[in-house]
Every structure is written in structure tokens, then in C-alpha cells.
A and B are shown apart, each in its own frame.
Chain A
Amino acid sequence: MTGELLLGPDEIARTMRRLAHEIVENNHGTDGLVIVGLLTRGHPLALRLGRLIREFEGVEVPVGSLDIGLYRDDVSRRGQPTPLRPSSIPADIDGATVVLVDDVLFTGRSIRAALDALLDFGRPARVRLATLIDRGHRELPIRPDFVGKNIPTALVQEVQVTLKETDGEDAVYVLNAEAAND
């Protein structure tokens, strides 16, 4: 497969630092903040944001993980079950400011499912959305509050985020259709 490298490890690290600062600034501190990453790749990003906020503010912010498999809108259309993992929400989210974290924001359907999943755990005062990459092509009225990088893409292209924790390296690639079909 061939593709174009859009972000390398250093750029991703810088982007994550900026996102952590923006999240704390937007929340006027860390009070009531809970960070929840979507499984699979949103979760390591959420953990990184948690570590950065502790570094900058000296405060431990609860970080959780959310599996959206049971909430997808295409459960009966896919023809095969989506693999499921347990969610882990380590804090009471009633009245909290929950920041949902994902690697790539695309159609918005995952975030719709994530909102349903999250609300089964409680009633947050507000929910924000942070994404490393926004590639456009929304199908639902959903917008991110914190964006690492906007990448204009064609629908036929594929954005692939790899992370040290899940894939061994930090990188963001754009794969074009021919490459994706290899």
C-alpha cells in the first residue's frame, strides 16, 4: 500500500499538547472534567490528554473508555457482529463536563452512537468533542469542539491513524483509493 504521511510522531505530540491546553482553557480549569476515549484509538489519545493535563495543571482528571458497538445504527445491516469490549467510565458523569475523544471524525455516526452510550452512564452537564483529525463528510449535525488537524479528503480516500499504544508507531496517513484496494 502507498499513501501520504500527513503527521509524524513529533507533530502528533505537539498537536496533543495544544488540544490539552485548549480543553483546560475552555473548561476554565479542570473542575468537573472527565475525558472519555472511544475504543479503540480514541482511548489511548484520551489517556495522553489525561497525562498532559496532569503535567500542565498538576491535577489528575478521570479518563475512561467507551465502546459503541451496541449503539451503532447499522447493527442489523452489517451481516456480522461488531466485536465488543467493556466500557469503563471511572467517575460519576452526572453534572460533569465530558470530553469525548476520537482519532478521526468522519460521518459523525460514531459520535451519535457514543452520545447514546455515554448517556446510559448518567447525565453530564455538557459533552464536548475532541478529535485528532477532522476529515469532513458529515452525515449528521455533529461538530467537534477541539480539532487536531482538519484534512480535506475525497470520500474514496481513507485516513489511517496509527498510535504507539495500538500499532507501534504514531502517524497519520491518507490512503487513496488505488492504494486502499491493493
Chain B
Amino acid sequence: MIDVQERPAPGPAEAPAWRHKDLLDTDVLSRADIDLVMETADAMLEVRSRPVAKVATLRGATVVTLFYEQSTRTRASFEVAAKAMGADVVNLTASGSSVVKGESLVDTVRTLEAIGADLLVMRHDRSGAPYLAAKNTKAGVINGGDGTHAHPTQALLDLFTMRRHLGALDGKKVVIVGDVLHSRVARSNVWSLLAAGANVTLCGPATLLPRTLASAGGEEGRVALTADLDRALVDADVVMALRIQKERQATGLIPSLREYINGYQVNATRLARAKPGALVMHPGPMNEGIEISPEAAHGLASVIEEQVANGVAVRMAVLYLMATARTK
């Protein structure tokens, strides 16, 4: 008999664990959680590249998409992802369900659980609605966007897209431009980018910058707020434009679209200030010619279409982790 050193076991005994019943926002994800999602999504992207881009891993699981607010890409992306993993998918919209008969959110969620939903992907126009749902069901709840609060899978697919181009994000500078105040995409991106080691600059008209987010960056000031886009873009590795809601003009938060375009449109001239080859991103749907110029949206540095494709892989990863982890 001889001494054998402790060494990593070949099996999954010490594999990183997934401890979240729900995915409501990125603010609860540790760096290890985020790495696990990213590594899993790498494998899913490979599955998507195959001639038959489908596996049977989640056979027997039921994923319900419950959308109280319009969506094309998020709902379709989740449906494709769930089907690519072999799960059964039920799609519900508020207009086609008992919601129009006055059924409460809690009753709807409990009914769906009783029907056998394992995972519930939910979009709601009220911030916080998915939290109420999650509290009232054993099913895992994935927030597909709630009001102006959070959109965790969008933030994770944005992060995944950045990492595929830039590698580790430690010390990288990400500039998010637009109506940050009303953007659930920006908010969730701040948490995941900070966890991944990046620095974030939020830029937009002063009326659309939430002051409270500045403290999220801690004492090192890893979150900066500025109304000056030309200055914000210096040394940027990533520039993400947010959709500007044309209705915002009416509220007086932006003086006019023309003025917004002059000050905040992401275009080729402005991008010249960023690092050469800086990535251009947008969560969609785009208003080309307003928050982003057509040449920036479709230029060589644009990864906007890739974001959509990566979204399927990242959502497959999230569904896989949540459906296979016993967190109850």
C-alpha cells in the first residue's frame, strides 16, 4: 500500500452546484453561478451548431411561458430553447387565458403548477410580479422581463456575447447608453457585469439616469454615471445602445427626438472614440436612426444578431441548470 495524494475526482462529486430555485434577477448570482451559466451555454452553442440541433435531456419536463406583456424574441427564444432541450412547452398570453376573466396571478401560477409545470417563464408589465409568482409555487420561475426592474436572461446573453469576443471581462469597460432609468436590461446588466469583473458606465440624458445605481459599483466606483457620451466612449470595450421609447418625449424626460439623436445616438463618428473594434450591442427591438445609426447597427463591430442567436444557447443553459438542480 502506498500513499495517494488528494486529487480532483474525475466524477461530478465536486462539480459547481446550482442553488437557485428561481431566476428573478442577476443580483443574486455569484461569480461562480455566472461562470457555470457561461460554461453550460458554451456547450449549448455547440449543440445548436449541429445538423440536428436538439437533445432529449429535458424529456418529460414541462416549461410554461406566461406572458402578460408583448414579446417576440424573448418568448420565441425560450420556446426554441426549451424544445431544443427536449422539454414540452405550453405558451400562454394574458389575452388568451383566464386572466381576462379576472383570475389573479397567484391563482394562475398555482393552476399551472397543478397542471404539471416544472418551469415558468414569466413576463409582466409590473416590476416585481415574478417575485410574487415565485413565492407561491414550487415550480422554478424565470423572469422574462418585469416592468422596469429586471431581465436576467437578457443580461446573461449579453455577457455571454461579450465573453465570446473579449474573453474574461475583468477590467473591461462597458458603456450602456440610453433610457437607463426605465431599462430592465440595463439594471440586470449592471449586476452581472459587476459580478464578472467589468466596469460599467451608464450614459444618457440626466433625466434618464438613476442616481441610485452609482452606489452599486462600491468604493472603487465601478459604476459611473454621465450625461456626456463622447467622454463616456473613450477606451470603451463594449457599447450597448438601449431602445428609446418614443413616448418618453411626451413625459418631458427628453426634450425632443432630434436632440436625443444629437446627443446620444451611437454612430460611426462617436464609435471612433471607443477602443478599435469595440463591440456594438443592442437588446432589440431597434429604432434604427434614433438610438443607433444603421451603419453602426449593421457594421463590422456589431454583434446584435449574434446576441439573438446566443440568447437561445444561454436560455438552454438556464433551463438545463434549473430543471436538473434539486433546490427545494
Tell whether A179 pairs with B4 under 8 Å between CB atoms, given A75-B324, A80-B18, A81-B324: yes
Instruction: Name A57-110 residues within 8 Å CB distance of B.
Output: 67, 69-71, 75-76, 78-88, 103
Contacts of A76 in B (CB 8 A): 60, 323-324
Contact B15 A86 (CB under 8 A): no
Complex-state Cα separation, A159 to B2, whole angstroms: 15
A130 on the B face (CB < 8 A)? no
Name the residue on A nearest B326 (C-beta): A79
Contact B10 A160 (CB under 8 A): yes
Which of A2-10, A14-22, A146-154 forms part of the interface with chain B?
A: A2-10
**A1 to B323, alpha carbons, bound, how many Å?**
35
Q: Is B42's CB under 8 angstroms from A85's CB?
A: yes
The answer on a CB contact under 8 Å between B10 and A41 is yes
Chain A 109-134, CB within 8 Å of chain B: the 1/0 string?
00000000000110000000000000
Beta-carbon nearest neighbor of A41 in chain B: B10
**B164 CB to nearest A CB, Å:** 12
> From residue 79 to 107 of chain B, which have CB atoms closer than 8 A to chain A?
none
A85–B43 Cα distance when bound, in Å, is 5
Q: Is B114 an interface residue, CB under 8 A from the partner?
A: no
| Chain B positions 7-44 with a Cβ under 8 Å from a chain A Cβ | 7-10, 12, 15-18, 36, 39-40, 42-44
In the complex, are the beta carbons of B12 and A167 less than 8 A apart? no
Say whether B4 contacts A1, CB under 8 Å.
Answer: yes
A70 to B4, Cβ gap below 8 A?
no
| Size class of the B contact interface (CB-based, 8 Å) | 35 or more
Q: Does B320 contact A (CB under 8 A)?
A: yes
Tell yes or no: A12 within 8 A of B by CB: no
| B57 at interface, CB cutoff 8 A | yes
- The answer to whether B10 and A161 touch across the interface, beta carbons within 8 angstroms, is yes
Chain B residues with CB below 8 A from A5, complex form: 2
CA distance A86 to B57 in the complex (A): 15
| Neighbour of B2 across the interface among A3, A78, A80, A167, CB < 8 A | A3
> Known: A41-B10, A87-B46, A167-B8. Contact between A70 and B55, CB under 8 A?
yes
Closest B residue by C-beta to A119:
B52
Is the pair A160, B39 in contact by a Cβ cutoff of 8 Å?
no
Residues of B within 8 A of A86 (CB): 42-43, 45-46
Q: Is the CB of B18 within 8 A of A81?
A: yes
How far, in angstroms, from A1 to B7 measured CA to CA in the complex? 10
- Contact residues in B for A88 (Cβ distance below 8 Å): 46
Q: B58 — which chain A residues lie within 8 A by C-beta?
A: 75
Chain A contacts for B300, CB-based, 8 A: none
A5 to B5, CA, bound (A): 12
Give the residue of B10, B39, B42, B323 whose beta carbon is less than 8 angstroms from that of A40: B10
Closest beta carbon of chain B to A140's beta carbon, Å: 18
Q: Are B10 and A3 in contact (CB under 8 A)?
A: no
> Which residue on chain A has the smallest CB distance to residue B5?
A1
Chain B residues within 8 Å of A80, by CB:
12, 15, 17-18, 324-326
A83 touches B15 (CB 8 A): yes
Residue B1 CB within 8 A of the other chain: yes
Closest chain A residue to B40, Cβ basis: A84
- Once the chains bind, are B47 and A70 in contact (CB under 8 Å)? yes
Chain A contacts with B in 166-182, Cβ cutoff 8 A: 167, 173, 175, 179
Report the Cα distance A179→B9, complex, angstroms. Answer: 14
A selection of 11 A-B contacts at a CB cut-off of 8 Å is A1-B3, A2-B4, A40-B10, A80-B12, A80-B325, A81-B40, A81-B320, A82-B15, A82-B324, A83-B16, A160-B9
Binding site for B on A (CB under 8 A): 1-5, 40-41, 67, 69-71, 75-76, 78-88, 103, 120-121, 160-162, 167, 173, 175, 179
3 closest Cβ pairs, A-B complex: A86-B46, A84-B43, A79-B326
